[in-house]
A and B are shown apart, each in its own frame.
Chain A
């Protein structure tokens, strides 16, 4: 049966929480009403990545890309687009600059992207194994099982140059080889889906949009390394991803793609899901393994590495979701093909969660070596409201900030490290002139302090001290010697913390010390927050010569501390001001100033 139209509705967590589920149902009802079910296939896909514009509806073959669609738009889309063949103009995506409608293929957000990991996200129904298979799914597994040896697989991975996408960038083939080399009856394959960086959700999107790609890759790893059991460790806060994984595992098992004697061979491999309670530290591999074993998630020293002694002391391959999602493509298209993408030391692509002060926030997948400028301005559409770019933070709470002068740096593991940041799992938060860098550091440290497992002293105590110092600085209680203390503590944490969480927790503040020292010192020596964020250091005043007495500020003030009659000069009572900035934003005459 041929369909004349395909309606793809985003079913990612972001869109779902903007009523995409309801929208999907409404479209189904509208299609039923028009008796169109035979000719139109309605598909709930994974995330399209363009989360800024969600919920998203894409209609094929017309390449129509509807954005910010509401459930009440469903009938109109069906009526107009499907029945009458007239696209719904008001819902079509328009480029920010040209204001022109853009067909999906021409949208600048997607044009510079190169999708390997996200290849199926937004393209298939993640709850249908057939749709995955139709896009070459399980071809890699079949190829491996029928025509490759474990050594062939490792050789292919080696050629591809794939490095772990969890943050550290360790060559994947070497991990696999270590595990393969250990002579042990029982081995394990583990998928680290404990994504936890604030704002990062690439792993969630892969699992929601293309769960089979991870299952297939884990089975390939099991065959290669000699494991017959895999675990996916995923945080319980990802209910949709968990459900789709469960469905995928059930379907794959029923179809003989997982379980005993896969595809009729003597290779057997099964996968179990283990839920994490949402401790960030459980993304650290030794803590993750402890958690799977039912123990408190606390890191232990390496070596021994999990590849040699991991889960229940057995050799264990552990990779993160994004790494896994690359594997089937490397097998089907070849390591050489993959190696052509990216830079010499960092092959392939990287998915970034682009957020913050950016036009097009969302998930973007670009070849390694793409510049920050390309991502921020060409894909991300630049900074909204004509504000000036200030910095971009990469690598989440473990990373650092990068300033405008480095925007043309090609992004790969090495370059980011040189700049004092890291790739991390791919968080990318853009900041503009209104962001205070001290406040940003405080936010990240607050996160790592909260998420420290409490085991090792440098992280447990050092993180808290750093946070408290920054907190004082943002309140105008900073002292000159605080800067030396930050350096001492930061250094001790980097050198003496047991795991990556503690070792990298001071990175945000240390990189701000490096690139934004003046801003930091302004807080301390001048009691001033140049960005106007730190409330204790900011004061709002009304300039008498500019105030015309329009009363707008007084009406907006939520705490009623602005006094003044109509057409009289207004005044702010500093003792009651909560520094919300409402008056500042409201004044049309530039009479309210912040300093």
Chain B
């Protein structure tokens, strides 16, 4: 790549061609204020706060969207730039409710931070705040148009990164806002509840539905047993809310915190991930080695992906693994197997999950199979962000918590279960066990590097019992379409499908980049979280799901064997074609 020489505030710097002024300035430790810009997204150049001056040019340009060129000399800060930026911030503030104290983004808001940094003490312009009701139509996210600053990130995420096209710009002038086309409700739109819009929103205009009040209310009851599970991706991200580096493994502290919040029993979704692998790998072996069912088989742990497929690719339903996600497998086991063990009925158990995900809130009511125990299998699903708030409000000093252990029965997990939280993890875990199911022993090398990493679509081949298994892994919904379209092509042409087994996760990086994770995720942070999970895997005593002694115990005592009748009753589900628009 060619290099470009330029000057930032007189400091000479050499950067690769195509580097934006914003990035180049960072190289020389100059921060240009931004609001609409996000490193995950192409520069949209809307807010007008990152304007800079070019020497010998009368115009101001946007640092986010302007590439440096040879000989360019940039002035990033001076009195006029300060004045212009401040005026723009004041203008934006004049359209934004002054309700920071009760906002879900209080103390974690990019607009609030800018206002603080610019020392804005009053808004000199009259306030014009539209009065538009919140969209609370989905169980996952809340869209509050009054707080929206029209930065366009959510639309770029929904259309560009995720290829979902639920959100669109509607209206024009100062009536512009983000909503599903035709101003319908989110649950009437193609929205897949992935919550990436909420993870990218700089303010409190789109956020997770907060279920903490309900959870806390139930925890005060004495007539139930409260059981909680935490997802793989939570342990490497929740620490960020307490000042830890991304990727720090906080499993033991999280267990301890959950007990201090009042949960009677702490289980780990990683255990259920092992269980999922037992079912899913068995299902794959059935399809691949015994010809029972169509290929390729596609994973279904991700409820947003399930929703996307049901809406955009319903003809591929037969290709979906019928195995429930780990969250839902755990839930049904908690309210059956575990309830039996402690002599309680399903109704007497209050079960909550902590997930990196907003879509998991939707999954718990997705279809009747999610109430396989007679009751709703999982009462509430809260996000990592919600748990962090609960911990803070309960006065728990997270940093000084002891490392505690998980409760027995549905707690022990293998390294295969933990890597579910990273893109490629489900595939790797499934292959470890599928191979064992077929050949009766583990692969010589169980690290399966080819499916790891941040590439949008990863392909690999592995030999199982002399047969070539071709797999593909995609993360971030927009990448999934490439894979799914290729499958469609193969099927339409009557060709042998180019892959046998496909893993798809809706969020970038997999669940560690979920829509319910602590704010501010970038690829650098995602990579650290992923590294945390693989470290957890490396350190594990058992690294293959079939080696999990408690999973074996569960089969021995309750389920029988994978794909048994009881497994089907509790651990499998079905899918339905859904219209993109219901209005």
Interface members, chain A 442-456 (any B CB < 8 Å): 449-456
B62, A495: Cβ atoms under 8 Å? no
A498, B174: Cβ atoms under 8 Å? no
B43, A301: Cβ atoms under 8 Å? yes
CB of B48 within 8 Å of the partner chain:
yes
B45, A461: Cβ atoms under 8 Å? no
A496, B60: Cβ atoms under 8 Å? yes
Interface majority SS (helix, strand, loop, mixed), chain A? helix
Residues of A within 8 A of B126 (CB): 465, 468
CB of A102 within 8 Å of the partner chain:
no
Residues of B within 8 A of A461 (CB): 91-92, 94-95, 174
B47, A460: Cβ atoms under 8 Å? no
**Alpha-carbon separation in the docked complex, A491 to B51 (Å):** 13
A485, B60: Cβ atoms under 8 Å? no
Interface stretch, picked from B81-89, B424-432, B433-441, is: B81-89
Q: How far is the CB of A503 from chain B (nearest CB, A)?
A: 9
A457, B47: Cβ atoms under 8 Å? yes
CB of B266 within 8 Å of the partner chain:
no
**Alpha-carbon separation in the docked complex, A225 to B66 (Å):** 27
B150 touches which of A460, A489, A498 (Cβ 8 Å): A460
Residues of B within 8 A of A550 (CB): none
Q: How far is the CB of A169 from chain B (nearest CB, A)?
A: 15
Q: How far is the CB of B577 from chain A (nearest CB, A)?
A: 27
Q: How far is the CB of B532 from chain A (nearest CB, A)?
A: 37
Interface residues on B, range: 35 or more
Q: Are A460 and B176 CB-contacts (below 8 A) given A455-B152, A465-B94, A468-B126?
A: yes
A485, B173: Cβ atoms under 8 Å? no
CB of A458 within 8 Å of the partner chain:
yes
Residues of A within 8 A of B60 (CB): 495-496
CB of A298 within 8 Å of the partner chain:
yes
A450, B173: Cβ atoms under 8 Å? yes
Q: Are A452 and B84 CB-contacts (below 8 A) given A301-B62, A465-B91?
A: no
Q: Are A452 and B46 CB-contacts (below 8 A) given A296-B169, A465-B94?
A: no
A453, B84: Cβ atoms under 8 Å? no
Residues of A within 8 A of B172 (CB): 279, 450-454
CB of A139 within 8 Å of the partner chain:
no
A455, B92: Cβ atoms under 8 Å? no
**Alpha-carbon separation in the docked complex, A301 to B50 (Å):** 13
CB of B576 within 8 Å of the partner chain:
no
Residue of A301, A455, A462 with most chain B CB atoms under a 10 A cut-off: A455
B175 touches which of A454, A457, A468, A498 (Cβ 8 Å): A454
Interface members, chain B 20-71 (any A CB < 8 Å): 43-49, 51, 59-62, 65-67
A485, B48: Cβ atoms under 8 Å? no
Residue of B124, B149, B174 with most chain A CB atoms under a 10 A cut-off: B174
CB of A531 within 8 Å of the partner chain:
no
CB closest chain-B residue, reference A489: B87
CB of A556 within 8 Å of the partner chain:
no
Residue of B65, B80, B168 with most chain A CB atoms under a 10 A cut-off: B65
A301 touches which of B66, B85, B92 (Cβ 8 Å): B66
CB of B242 within 8 Å of the partner chain:
no
Q: How far is the CB of B32 from chain A (nearest CB, A)?
A: 13
Bitwise interface map of B from 213 to 232 toward A, beta carbon under 8 Å scored 1, else 0: 00000000000000000000
CB of B171 within 8 Å of the partner chain:
yes
**Alpha-carbon separation in the docked complex, A456 to B172 (Å):** 11
**Alpha-carbon separation in the docked complex, A533 to B88 (Å):** 32
**Alpha-carbon separation in the docked complex, A489 to B124 (Å):** 11
**Alpha-carbon separation in the docked complex, A495 to B78 (Å):** 14
Q: Are A492 and B46 CB-contacts (below 8 A) given A461-B95, A461-B174, A465-B94?
A: no
A495, B51: Cβ atoms under 8 Å? yes
A300, B169: Cβ atoms under 8 Å? no
**Alpha-carbon separation in the docked complex, A464 to B80 (Å):** 22
CB closest chain-A residue, reference B59: A495
Residue of B62, B85, B94, B173 with most chain A CB atoms under a 10 A cut-off: B173
CB of B125 within 8 Å of the partner chain:
yes
Residues of B within 8 A of A13 (CB): none
Q: Are A449 and B173 CB-contacts (below 8 A) given A454-B150, A457-B91?
A: yes
Q: Are A457 and B150 CB-contacts (below 8 A) given A491-B83, A496-B51, A498-B46?
A: yes
CB of A488 within 8 Å of the partner chain:
yes
Q: How far is the CB of B522 from chain A (nearest CB, A)?
A: 22
CB of B137 within 8 Å of the partner chain:
no
A489 touches which of B44, B91, B92, B176 (Cβ 8 Å): B91
Residues of A within 8 A of B92 (CB): 457, 461
Residues of A within 8 A of B176 (CB): 453-455, 460
Residues of B within 8 A of A465 (CB): 91, 94, 125-126, 128
CB of A497 within 8 Å of the partner chain:
yes
**Alpha-carbon separation in the docked complex, A300 to B62 (Å):** 11
**Alpha-carbon separation in the docked complex, A462 to B128 (Å):** 12
Residues of B within 8 A of A296 (CB): 168-169
Bitwise interface map of A from 475 to 518 toward B, beta carbon under 8 Å scored 1, else 0: 00000000001001101100111100000000000000000000
B171 touches which of A454, A458, A492, A495 (Cβ 8 Å): A454
Interface members, chain A 301-332 (any B CB < 8 Å): 301, 303
CB closest chain-A residue, reference B67: A303
CB closest chain-B residue, reference A458: B48
B48, A456: Cβ atoms under 8 Å? yes
Residues of A within 8 A of B174 (CB): 449, 452, 454, 460-461, 463-464
**Alpha-carbon separation in the docked complex, A452 to B60 (Å):** 20
Residues of B within 8 A of A449 (CB): 173-174
A460 touches which of B59, B61, B62, B173 (Cβ 8 Å): B173
Q: How far is the CB of A335 from chain B (nearest CB, A)?
A: 30
Residues of B within 8 A of A303 (CB): 66-67
Residues of A within 8 A of B46 (CB): 455-457, 498
Q: How far is the CB of B165 from chain A (nearest CB, A)?
A: 12
A300, B87: Cβ atoms under 8 Å? no
Q: Are A456 and B45 CB-contacts (below 8 A) given A450-B173, A451-B173, A485-B125?
A: yes
Q: How far is the CB of A487 from chain B (nearest CB, A)?
A: 10
**Alpha-carbon separation in the docked complex, A300 to B173 (Å):** 16
**Alpha-carbon separation in the docked complex, A495 to B176 (Å):** 22
Residues of B within 8 A of A468 (CB): 126, 128
- Given contact pairs A455-B152, A491-B83, a sample of 14 additional A-B residue pairs in the complex whose CB atoms are under 8 Å apart: A452-B174, A454-B150, A456-B46, A456-B47, A457-B46, A457-B48, A457-B88, A461-B95, A465-B91, A488-B87, A495-B84, A496-B51, A497-B48, A498-B62
Cross-chain pairs A/B with CB under 8 angstroms, 27 sampled: A296-B169, A300-B45, A301-B61, A301-B66, A303-B66, A449-B173, A451-B173, A452-B173, A452-B174, A454-B172, A455-B46, A457-B46, A457-B48, A458-B48, A460-B173, A461-B92, A461-B94, A461-B95, A462-B88, A463-B173, A465-B91, A489-B91, A491-B84, A492-B91, A495-B59, A496-B48, A496-B85
Question: A-B pairs with the 8 shortest C-beta distances?
Answer: A454-B176, A496-B48, A492-B87, A461-B91, A301-B65, A452-B173, A301-B45, A464-B174
Binding site for B on A (CB under 8 A): 279, 296, 298, 300-301, 303, 449-458, 460-465, 468, 485, 488-489, 491-492, 495-498
